[in-house]
Amino acid sequence: MSHSEQPVTQTTPKFPAKSDLIQVGRGLLMGGADIIPGVSGGTVALILGIYQRLVTAISHCDARLFQLLAKRQWSDVAVHLDLRFVLPLGVGILTGVVSLASLMHYLLDYHLQLTLSVFFGLILASSYLVAQMVKRWTVLNVLAFLASLAGVYILVGEHSIQPPEGNLYVFFCGMIAICAMILPGISGALILILLGKYHDVTGLLKTIPKELLKGNIDWSGLVTVFVFVLGCLIGLILFSKVLRWLLHNYHTLTMAVLCGLMVGSLRRIWPFKVDVTPYTADQTPEMVPFKHRIYENVWPAAFDGQFWTSIVLIIVAAILIWGLDYLSQKYAMHGTSEL
């Protein structure tokens, strides 16, 4: 089995076939990556050998698709969108996201420093890899890098902004974050952190399935998730073409901007923080939602066990990213056709 796929043109096997289960498994890996800040679902797709096929399927949301839909030529629609590939992959991605969201939510609430240490290592290593994609550091590229770095550094300052409430902003977050799926090197979860909605989204993905199993329906939460998913779908269709155009025509400049964005975002992910939330006399930190707490970055006050554990996690996370990059390059060089 090789690692680059082409849409199936021959007689397809009955559903579900072994190939469908394989796509679900790949989707699980991509979904798990998408929920972790610093790990790009696009990078995982590249490693698994399905990146080009995924981008091609997304790009087929075009005028031809609407013509087929208007004529109700459903079999041609399925072939045009490569649905035999997209649907099981999408099921796997959704399952991976939901299954890990609860864990990420818990870790941020109760193990903030260690969790941010892993995120810091992931994003630091990813920034280095994206910087290597800049073929020439010209004056323009350096200025673009510094401008995006400074802009994001200010934006993610502890007291700089409070993300707006409301589903319109959630829709916007979904549109922006989903672009990471088709862009190896940058994580959609990282974008949600920068936009201040990561904890909210993972919280909903954690609680809604549990409540549904109990027979309780959180209509407000369901609407928010629906709006987020709708934003993801529209963003995927619209921005995929824009990103492909930017990468094709201004690849080096785009990489420089992305690198600056990732380096600047490290301010938000700095693992050593102190809680400076102005609690009232009858409040404890557990009573205040995570998104309303205020943290300030500090230098470690003591080189204790917690500090060294954080350093080890940063290093291990960085090694993981470099290992994924090595695999992606290896399979990109040796991949042929598959399934």
pLDDT at position 294 is 75
Cα separation, 59 vs 306, in Å, equals 47
pLDDT at position 15 is 63
pLDDT at position 333 is 62
pLDDT at position 264 is 85
Cα separation, 95 vs 87, in Å, equals 12
Cα separation, 320 vs 129, in Å, equals 12
pLDDT at position 339 is 38
pLDDT in tens, the chain (339 residues): 444 455 544 455 666 777 788 888 888 888 877 777 666 677 677 667 787 788 788 878 778 888 888 888 888 888 888 888 889 998 988 888 888 877 877 887 788 889 889 888 888 888 888 888 888 899 999 999 999 899 878 877 655 456 777 889 999 888 888 876 666 666 777 788 778 788 788 888 878 877 777 777 778 888 988 999 899 888 887 776 777 677 778 888 988 988 888 888 788 888 998 877 777 777 776 666 666 677 788 888 888 888 999 999 999 988 988 887 777 677 656 554 443
Q: Coil, strand, or helix at residue 215?
A: coil
Rounded alpha-carbon distances, angstroms, from residue 24 to 61, 89, 239, 299, 310: 22, 5, 25, 43, 34
pLDDT at position 215 is 77
Render 42-82 in DSSP notation, one character per residue: HHHHHHHT-HHHHHHHHHT-SHHHHHHHHTT-HHHHHHHHT
Are 54 and 45 spatial neighbours (Cβ–Cβ below 8 Å)? yes
pLDDT at position 117 is 92
Return the domain boundaries, the chain: 18-336
Count of beta carbons in the 10 Å neighbourhood of residue 153: 18
> Which residues fall within 8 angstroms of residue 273, CB to CB, at 6 or more apart?
112, 113, 116, 295, 296, 297, 298
* Lookup: tokens for 58: 């997304």
pLDDT at position 13 is 62
pLDDT at position 14 is 67
Of 277, 256, 290, 226, whose CA–CA distance to 127 is shortest? Answer: 256
Q: Return the bridge partners of 4, or none.
A: 337
Crossing angle of helices 305-334 and 41-48, in 10° steps, is 40
pLDDT at position 336 is 41
